Amino acid sequence: MKVKKTFYLLLLLIVACVPEKKDQDSNFDPESKLKELGIELMIPSDPVANYVNTVQSGNLLFISGKGPLKNDGEYIKGKLGYDLTIDQGYEAARATGINLISTIKSAIGDLKNVKQIIRVNGMVNSASNFTDQPKVINGCSDLLVEVFGDRGKHTRVALGMNSLPMNIAVEIDLILEVENN
């Protein structure tokens, strides 16, 4: 019985001393992945009211809602199921994802410091009978996984909205965990 207890204590000690696996992928390089995808990040858009782009609490970084801002400074606008197709909505969500990644980079510097995308909250400017909001928000979700790999896998909500500010097609906010500095 004493040998069994000693064995379990030794096993517990070994497990406790094994360092936490920091990199899920030793080749993790989101900036190279962005280049490979032909994506250029932009300067994050300024908030349009009395709030900030990001708030960090401990290792969690909260990103305010962003819209589908294009490189020319214009937003993709319209209502899904009325003005825009699912494919156009998908592209709007992807553009919003680029805006979110730009905001993350601005806040933490090196994108290698992203430990995990935790939550994506997607809002889709939708006609009353439009029910494919998840297919639209996939534009952002797919991009996050393309850029961050397993670290980009996240929980999510995709909601239909009667309207969004400035008639933008989508608005998305997210929560992520950053590495300890």
Q: pLDDT tens across 103-138, in order?
A: 999 999 999 999 999 999 999 999 999 999 999 999
pTM of the model: 0.85
Better-scored residue on pLDDT, 162 or 181? 162
Taking all residues of the chain, what is their mean pLDDT, rounded to a whole number?
89
Residue length, the chain? 181
Tell which residue, 146, 166, 150, 52, has the closest CA to residue 94. 146
Terminal-residue alpha carbon distance, the chain:
45
Helix, strand, coil in percent for the chain, rounding step 5: 40, 25, 35
Topology at the third CATH level for domain 30-178:
60s Ribosomal Protein L30; Chain: A; (3.30.1330)
Choose between 101 and 44: higher pLDDT. Answer: 101
Domain limits, the chain: 30-178
What is the per-residue pLDDT across 52-93, written as a single tens digit (0 to 9) for each?
A: 999 999 999 999 999 999 988 899 999 999 999 999 999 999
Q: Which residue has the higher pLDDT, 8 or 29?
A: 29
Q: Is 97 in contact with 131 (CB distance < 8 Å)?
A: no
Of 131, 127, 143, nearest in space to 66 by CA: 143
Please report, rounded to a whole number, the percentage of residues in the chain having pLDDT higher than 70. Answer: 85
Contact 175, 65 (CB under 8 A): no
At residue 36, φ and ψ (nearest 5 deg) are -60, -35
Evaluate if residue 145 carries a pLDDT over 80: yes
Q: Where are the beta strands (DSSP E) in the chain?
A: 54-57, 60-66, 114-125, 155-161, 170-178
Alpha-carbon gap, residue 87 to 78, rounded angstroms = 13
